[in-house]
Amino acid sequence: MHGAERFRLNVDVVLAGNEQTVLRLGAALLLGSILGLNRELHGKAAGLRTHALVCLGSAVATLLALGPPDRWSSVDPNSISRVVQGILTGVGFLGAGVILRDPMGHVTGLTTAATIWICAVLGIVCGLGYWWLLGTAAVITMFLLLVGRPIERLAEKLFHRHATQPPDHSV
């Protein structure tokens, strides 16, 4: 048994079914709020409430597929798979709504759309209670949101690409 399984087992032993549900939903709400706050502070259309609701909604749908807490160990993996597919397809449409293209050919909203999508995935992970995966993915996501733009600016300087130029479609 490695560290992630040991941690998961400890949480399962300490918390009863209703407390597990509250923990999973609370984690989804908190994580979605944090990612949404990042987008909100950058002045994006989809902010704290949108991201928090996507993450929470994904966790609720996943918990619904799991059924009552006393039957979580005997759930059909195919039902979880169908719920995950439905969530990711539906959230894809929501993310598409924040992607815009101006007359010059600049596309905006891709990072926000991707953040909405990862919020849905992290909500699913919260609903399933995979805490090690959740922590790792959340840290990587926040790291990328915090340092991604400075890295892009450095790459633009190194490769002499200006962000104000429209994309080169001849390549």
Q: pLDDT for 102-152, tens place per residue?
A: 888 888 899 999 999 999 999 999 999 999 999 999 999 999 999 998 998
pTM, to two decimals? 0.80
Report the candidate in 114, 136, 134, 139 with the shortest Cα–Cα distance to residue 25: 134
Mean pLDDT of the chain: 85
pLDDT-above-70 percentage for the chain: 85
With tokens 């059924």, the residue in question is: 67
Q: 163 in helix, strand or coil? A: coil
Domain borders along the chain are: 15-158
Split at pLDDT 50, 70, 90, the class of 77 is confident
